Amino acid sequence: MSPRRLGGRWTLDDRLARQVHAVPVELPPGTPAFTVELAYDQSAGVLDLGCEGPAGFRGWSGGARSRYTIAPGWATPGYLPGEPEPGVWRVLLGLYRVPLEGLAYELTVTPHRRPPAPPGDGAAASPPPPPVVPASVRRGVPALDGMRWRAGELHAHTVHSDGALTVTELALLARAEGLDFLAVTDHNTVSHHAELPAVSAAAGITLVPGQEVTTDLGHANAFGPIGWVDFREPAGAWARVVRERGGLLSVNHPLGADCAWRHPPGERPRTVEVWHSGWWDRTWGAPLSWAQAWRDDPVYVGGGDYHGPGGGHPPGAPATWVLTAEDPGQAWGRGAGASAPDGAGTSAPDGAGSGPSPEAVVAGIRAGRTAVSAGPYGPLLLRHGEEFLALDADGLVLWGPDERRVIRGDRVTLPARPGPHRLETTRNEVMALCT
């Protein structure tokens, strides 16, 4: 089967008309697999790449790749495997950066007579992970009415979009950091969801299915096994679809430079990633001001937006804490009775040896049972029933709508007051948030 070449020139007017354009391609009857390659002057602009079949969405890799293959038994990360259905296919091109003079491009679509073999990565099988006691247990965070506080990362990427690590590598790293859960939120795709249950069981960490719905006007995380959310639709449609499918939508990094939230006002999700890894100077109060103006009942979460080792921070920086209902999740390590590393302190409290389900994590966020800290071992402020629990916060200042006081001691409880609260240093640097 001969390759087919298509091309043209995108203009700035094309970009302003809509973000994503489709180039139709009809595959020869009986094509078992095909490959698409995109070529353009990458020094002049940026084009994103994706795929839509006659039956619907088949994948997205954004600007991370210029080539993908779809075959019955495998597909390039970011794309869904399966035998290509007959009919008109569409190569999706996102016009992310187009210069005034326009941007020429060429597509090469190669139908295969037989499915090509999947590319081998040459990696050896991963050894069983060593026992790790999560930060929530090491720090002795108490249970509450049959629920437990768990620490995790809600914003992370893998090779299924523009991340550097596989799902397995990311899960093992998050576990080593002492996290109880990790949401995998690759851009505009759900191809990673199929890997999560097996990797979760092998790595000993709860993996929450997610996707980062990504556009020029802002990003949002959609949590839950809810299928693909069409990022080409207005943001209000995302909120409706996610809600109808039982998921949860969270606005990401609303003040994040060129990916700040600029969608027209409409339905406003309650959950907001008010603490993003890009909040370098936490004496800068704009993220908190934005959240208070967004809604009068925001649910605070954090997001590290982890892409790989080159990002300068591990998963869980910041860490989101969620009070989750306990259920028979997978055991931490290869046995629930694994001993703590040196210096871990006393044995784990009852019920602390297993992780929550992904559903329990999402339910806890939806209910507003959240807190955020700089990392899993940083100063922590929890709304624990009718009390605040402040851990490792000696000398910090507790701020709230009607609250101003200095925390004295490393484990302090005091009556809780309504509204969002935070811990700050004497120079007004935010160290912890509590919904």
Q: Domains for the chain: give ranges and CATH numbers.
A: 4-112 (2.60.120.380), 135-378 (3.20.20.140)
DSSP 8-state symbol, 264: P
pTM to 2 decimal places? 0.92
User: What is the structure's pLDDT at 338?
Assistant: 32
User: What is the structure's pLDDT at 189?
Assistant: 98
Residue 140: Cβ within 10 Å count: 13
The DSSP bridge partners found for residue 387 are: 384, 415
Report residue 219 as tokens.
Answer: 């990003």
**Lowest mean pLDDT across 121-130, 209-218, 230-239, 397-406:** 121-130
Kindly report whether the peptide bond that precedes residue 318 is cis, defined as omega within 30 degrees of 0.
Answer: yes
Q: What is the pLDDT of residues 265-283, one digit of tens each?
A: 888 999 999 999 999 999 9
CB 380 within 8 A of CB 321: yes
pLDDT confidence of 327, banded at 50, 70, 90?
Answer: low
**Residue 48 or 333, more confident:** 48
d(CA 138, CA 144): 17
Inter-helix orientation angle 167-176/196-203, to 10°: 40
Which candidate, 330, 39, 36, places its Cα nearest to that of 180? 330
Percent share of the chain, pLDDT over 90: 88
Residue 146: Cβ within 10 Å count: 8
CB 139 within 8 A of CB 39: no
Mean model confidence pLDDT for the chain: 92
